[in-house]
Amino acid sequence: MDPYRGNHEVWARSAWAAIDAAERAKLPMEGFFDGLPFDAKSLRRMRRVDWSDYGVICERMEERAGGPEGCRRLLAEGYHHVIPEIRAIAGSLVSAKALYRIVLEVVDPILLQPLVTSFEDLGEERVLISVRLRPGARPCGAFFRGSIGAFEGLPGHLDLPLPEVLFTEIDDVHGIYELQLPPSRTLAARIKRAARTPIRAVAPWILGYTSEGTPIGASFGGPTAGDDIGLRVTTATRVWKLTARQADVLRLLVQGRANKEIASDLGCAENTVELHVTQLFRRSGTSSRAQLIARFWSEL
């Protein structure tokens, strides 16, 4: 019996992505799910999986990829292709560094709750990433070894080349990774702004659920009262040439409010809100709520 089972869970989306990456690389899948409480089909219907089972997936991927280096190459070259949710907002982020920040500070803590992650900006496009398991989680060196490739592949969401891995320290319960990122095709002033921007509001639109498991149709507690939403809405109104009502809709939308809730708050029909949201996409140069929210918090 696995003494670690039941201690920690991860969002099933993480396991889907790993399986998709394995299948995309044409790894042999016969017997891949032996001993696991799900198969490829039933996994898609799950919301969470036990961390111990996720660890087995990581270990089998590494073995079938020919070892740590083979798995690293697989993830570096293809992992970003199997997570379209992140790619959908990547174009609205202003640098590779901003993308690493949102993944490590927003996405990973929701998808991979047994992990504690940290991100340090070392300057000159260098970053230091630290990942460690929480107490009681099953050790899994394959996860931390594979994370090298996953981190290498992140700039692929921005159509940038792989970063240079300067240093790693890895065992079965933690990993430290120092990377030299590729130059970003953006303005330095925007990068500086993004580096201190809270992009918490984007996470539910990437993942479909908040960290508490609430569907995105329900309101979630977006930025705190201390955040400068009002100032950013004022800037957006000027830069994007918004009407007063469009600004009202934007103010609520970036806090994660659904169209129905916005309509209720503003005392108008839901289809009127939908029209304003469509106009906000056009004026902000975005095509989805995720992109709009990301642009609001990273560029204004």
Torsions phi, psi for 131 (to 5 deg): -135, 130
Q: What's the rounded Cα separation, in Å, for the pair 195 and 120? A: 10
For 159, left (φ over 0), alpha (ψ -120 to 50), or beta? Answer: left
Residue 270 lies in a domain: yes
Do 49 and 153 lie in a common domain?
yes
Q: Measuring CA to CA, which residue among 73, 76, 69, 79 is closest to residue 18?
A: 79
- pLDDT tens, residue by residue, 17-36: 899 999 999 999 999 999 99
Q: Which residues contact 240 (CB under 8 A, 6 or more apart)?
A: 280, 283, 284
Q: Which residues pair with 176 in a beta bridge?
A: 130, 169
- pLDDT tens, residue by residue, 187-246: 443 444 444 444 455 555 455 544 444 443 333 333 333 346 788 899 999 999 999 999
Give pLDDT, residue 198: 44
Number of domains within the chain: 2
Do 206 and 174 lie in a common domain?
no
Give pLDDT, residue 217: 37
Among residues 145, 180, 215, the one where a domain terminates is 180
Give pLDDT, residue 215: 40
- SS3 state at 127: strand
DSSP code at position 104: I
Q: Using DSSP bridges, classify how beta strands 126-133 and 48-50 pair: parallel, antiparallel or unpaired.
A: unpaired
Among residues 155, 180, 205, the one where a domain terminates is 180
Q: Which residues contact 289 (CB under 8 A, 6 or more apart)?
A: 205, 253, 277
Give pLDDT, residue 131: 97
Give pLDDT, residue 242: 94
Domain harbouring 209, CATH code: 1.10.10.10
Q: Residue 261's domain spans which residues?
A: 197-299
Give pLDDT, residue 287: 83
Question: How many other β-carbons are positioned within 10 Å of the β-carbon of residue 286?
Answer: 19
Residue 186 lies in a domain: no
Do 176 and 202 lie in a common domain?
no
Q: Which residues pair with 168 in a beta bridge?
A: 177
Do 19 and 117 lie in a common domain?
yes
- The proportion of the chain whose per-residue pLDDT surpasses 90, expressed as a percent, equals 52
Residue 127 lies in a domain: yes
Residue 274 lies in a domain: yes
Do 15 and 163 lie in a common domain?
yes
Do 256 and 165 lie in a common domain?
no
Do 227 and 277 lie in a common domain?
yes
- The proportion of the chain whose per-residue pLDDT surpasses 70, expressed as a percent, equals 80
Do 176 and 213 lie in a common domain?
no
Do 42 and 126 lie in a common domain?
yes
Residue 94 lies in a domain: yes
Question: How many other β-carbons are positioned within 10 Å of the β-carbon of residue 52?
Answer: 20
Contact present, 255 and 229 (Cβ < 8 Å):
yes
Residue 64 lies in a domain: yes
- pLDDT tens, residue by residue, 253-295: 887 677 888 999 999 999 999 999 999 999 998 887 777 877 7
Torsions phi, psi for 128 (to 5 deg): -120, 125
pLDDT-derived band at 6, boundaries 50, 70, 90: confident
Sign, CA dihedral 18-102-291-155, equals: negative
Token match 């939403």: residue? 229
Do 102 and 206 lie in a common domain?
no
Do 159 and 215 lie in a common domain?
no
Contact present, 288 and 88 (Cβ < 8 Å):
yes
Task: Select the more confidently predicted residue: 219 or 142.
Answer: 142
Task: Select the more confidently predicted residue: 252 or 81.
Answer: 252
Contact present, 175 and 147 (Cβ < 8 Å):
yes
Q: Measuring CA to CA, which residue among 102, 84, 107, 205 is closest to residue 156?
A: 84
Domain harbouring 152, CATH code: 3.90.1520.10
At 239, list the tokens. 């830069």
Reported as type and span, the H/E element at residue 121 is: strand 115-123
Among residues 138, 154, 180, the one where a domain terminates is 180
Do 25 and 139 lie in a common domain?
yes
Residue 51 lies in a domain: yes
Q: Which residues contact 264 (CB under 8 A, 6 or more apart)?
A: none
Q: Among the listed ranges 13-22, 42-51, 181-190, 286-295, which one has the minimum average pLDDT value?
A: 181-190
